Chain A
Amino acid sequence: MAQERKRIVITGIGVLTPIGLTKEDFWDSLFNGKSGAAPITYFDTTNFATTFACELKGFSADSYIDRKTADRMDPYCQYAVIAADQALIDSGLDLKEIDPLRIGVVHGSGIGGMTTYEQQFKTFLERGPRRISPFFIPMLIPDIAAGQISIRHGLMGPNYATSSACATSLHAIMDAYMLIQAGMADYMVCGGSEAPITQMSVGGFNSARALSTANDRPQQASRPYDRDRDGFVMGEGGGSLILESLESAKARGAKIYAEIVGVGATADAYHLTAPHPEGLGAVNAMKTALKIAGIAPENIDYINTHGTATPLGDLAEISAIKTLFGEHAYKLNISSTKSMTGHLLGAAGVVESIACLLAMQHQTVPPTINLDNLDPQVDLDVTPNTPKKRNIEYALNNGFGFGGHNGSIIFRNGASL
């Protein structure tokens, strides 16, 4: 069945993360096991259970977007627009040569403009409803990033956001892949972004008991698979990919990072925030992706896991991998790059997909850092603390969100296409 489908490849990457504002710096940090965590500078953390996060460092929207335009965007939207700019440039696409109706954007956010919401709600409380900015709604809504990217570049094809919490940008990539296969577009900009380091968001995730509270050691706090993990570390940023058909990429001589060979999306149908204990939804998502790819589990070399460092979530995913991959689970390399970037929520899927693409390009598995004492229930090779040279032909990326949304995507190394 795979031969009837249009083959879709990735020809452009844009990424803004707490450990690098370009794909080169991002890879350099992944390779060197650098943590992006530090005390929060965006607000006064007095009385917060968690006082640190992975903020973008050395970032100023003004160096990418003119001031008036940037002022009318929530940070989440700025990150999306900048990542998309980078990806379009990286792809080498000449937009003047493309029918604008044939290029679209699917760019998501798990939360949307939380900073904007807080600022405007404060204005409302202090000064009344007539002082709410006319830009409040268009800055708040999680689809406006897709709209802004289209306006900036004149892209008139399909345009919307996905929103599935921490699986958001994986679903955005899947939708973009399906839109090209369905013949609705020839090129897609896809990805996601998040700017959740705000008082309400940190406070809310604290109340849900989801965040690490290791305030005395921020850089060691994100510790997936470690015995002493105590929750995720919040991160922010964005990522964007350019998708097109293999045929189109070859015809224009584009650099091909990878082919998207399989995608899977399922629901746990179990609990609001807790994962299914045996990772049933995750098994099903990975199984679907393998089936669409038409490959055996033994073909997968590397899995970039969801691996947020919550006590339950990490074990459920490991259990899912063992269920599906059997003996091969012990031959795979697995890593959670969230140990370095923190958890970028809606942007996690695309940023970690980019980690997979760069890992394939460099034939190196990025490590899971902060692994001092491996959880005895985790007996797989989670690539502790140092990167590992490995020929990666197929890489799989998982992302799971509150609500029980699961996404899995399988990439095939572009070097062999």
Chain B
Amino acid sequence: MTQAEIKDKVYDIIVSKMGVNKDQIKTESKFSDDLGADSLDTVELIMELESEFDVQIPDEDAEKIGTVQQAIDYIVSKK
């Protein structure tokens, strides 16, 4: 999977779970401040990433994923 494909998929997950439009998402967007995620939204987002990309994201790693770019980078590093 290329980095562009990963980015596309991450954006799709955010759109489906966060109730935002694709054009509202930027790579530097913070899940909490910019995309309106609360603590439960964030847990769900991490679970969706795990499920979609078939990876395990331990809690200590999940805590470091605060922006869209960090999510993409994390998935790329595991693939």
Among candidates A67, A134, A135, A138, residue contacting B19 with C-beta atoms closer than 8 Å:
A67
Known: A131-B51, A133-B47. A138 touches B40 (CB 8 A): yes
> What residues of chain B lie closer than 8 Å to A135, measured between beta carbons?
40, 44
Interface range for A = 10 to 19
CA distance A134 to B43 in the complex (A): 7
> What residues of chain B lie closer than 8 Å to A69, measured between beta carbons?
19
> What residues of chain B lie closer than 8 Å to A71, measured between beta carbons?
19
CA distance A127 to B54 in the complex (A): 12
Does B18 have its Cβ within 8 Å of any Cβ on chain A?
A: yes
Does A216 have its Cβ within 8 Å of any Cβ on chain B?
A: no
User: Looking at A66, A127, A133, which has the most chain B CB atoms within 10 Å of its CB?
Assistant: A133
Does A252 have its Cβ within 8 Å of any Cβ on chain B?
A: no
CA distance A81 to B19 in the complex (A): 19
Total of A-B residue pairs, C-beta within 8 Å: 20
Q: Is the CB of A133 within 8 A of B44?
A: yes
Q: Is the CB of A134 within 8 A of B40?
A: yes
> What residues of chain A lie closer than 8 Å to B17, measured between beta carbons?
68
CA distance A133 to B17 in the complex (A): 12
Interface size on B, residues (CB 8 A): 8
CA distance A130 to B59 in the complex (A): 12
CA distance A263 to B57 in the complex (A): 55
CA distance A127 to B47 in the complex (A): 12
Of residues 132 through 146 on chain A, the ones whose CB sits less than 8 Å from some CB of chain B are: 133-135, 138
> What residues of chain A lie closer than 8 Å to B44, measured between beta carbons?
133-135
A84 CB to nearest B CB, Å: 21
Q: Name the residue of chain B whose CB is nearest to the CB of A71.
A: B19
Of residues 32 through 62 on chain B, the ones whose CB sits less than 8 Å from some CB of chain A are: 40, 43-44, 47, 51
8 of the cross-chain contacts (CB-CB < 8 Å) are: A66-B19, A67-B19, A68-B18, A131-B51, A133-B44, A133-B47, A134-B44, A135-B44
Please give the residue numbers on chain A whose beta carbons come within 8 Å of chain B beta carbons, in ascending order. Answer: 66-69, 71, 127, 130-131, 133-135, 138
